[in-house]
């Protein structure tokens, strides 16, 4: 189970880093730059630990899929970036894919 705890933290750090990129303003703002560098560094370090116990394809699918959805939610809340119906449906399919992997895949590390 520590692999999935590390994966959850890695996802949160990736979301913080990716969401901070819009505020970088061409690398002119130090706080967003620190959030991007630290967020991605921690995220990738934790992801490297995750793949010791979770198959790399499964770990990456969860990390990237949930990251896409969570970054979109953060962008809506912080930057008022709305999604159209096609984007919402597509992200719903991503979430469904992650859930499907967790429920039915024998390689998901259960």
Q: Name the CA radius of gyration of the chain, rounded.
A: 15
| Residue 110 to residue 103: CA distance in whole angstroms | 9
Residue 103 pLDDT class (50, 70, 90 cuts): confident
Structure confidence by residue, pLDDT tens digits, 15-63: 999 999 989 888 889 999 999 999 999 999 999 999 999 989 889 989 9
* Residue 59 pLDDT: 92
Q: Long-range contacts of range 32-39, CB-CB < 8 Å, 24 or more positions apart?
A: 38/13, 39/13, 39/14
Q: What does the pLDDT look like over 7-17, one tens digit per residue?
A: 999 999 999 99
**What's residue 108's pLDDT?**
65
Look at residue 26 and give its three-state secondary structure.
Answer: coil
Checking if the pLDDT of 101 tops 90, the result is no
**Cα–Cα–Cα angle for 51, 56, 61, rounded to 5 degrees:** 120
User: What residues does each domain of the chain span?
Assistant: 2-104
Contacts of 49 (CB under 8 A, 6+ apart): 3, 6
Q: In residues, how long is the chain?
A: 110
């Amino acid at each position: 189970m520590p692999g999935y705890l590390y994966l959850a933290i890695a996802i949160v750090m990736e979301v913080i880093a990716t969401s901070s990129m819009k505020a970088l303003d061409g690398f002119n703002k130090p706080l967003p730059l620190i959030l991007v560098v630290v967020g991605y560094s921690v995220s990738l370090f934790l992801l490297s630990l995750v793949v010791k116990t979770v198959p790399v394809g499964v770990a990456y699918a969860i990390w990237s899929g949930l990251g896409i959805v969570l970054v979109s939610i953060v962008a809506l809340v912080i930057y008022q970036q709305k999604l159209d119906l096609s984007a919402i449906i597509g992200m719903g399919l991503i979430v469904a894919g992650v859930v499907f992997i967790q429920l039915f895949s024998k390689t998901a590390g259960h």
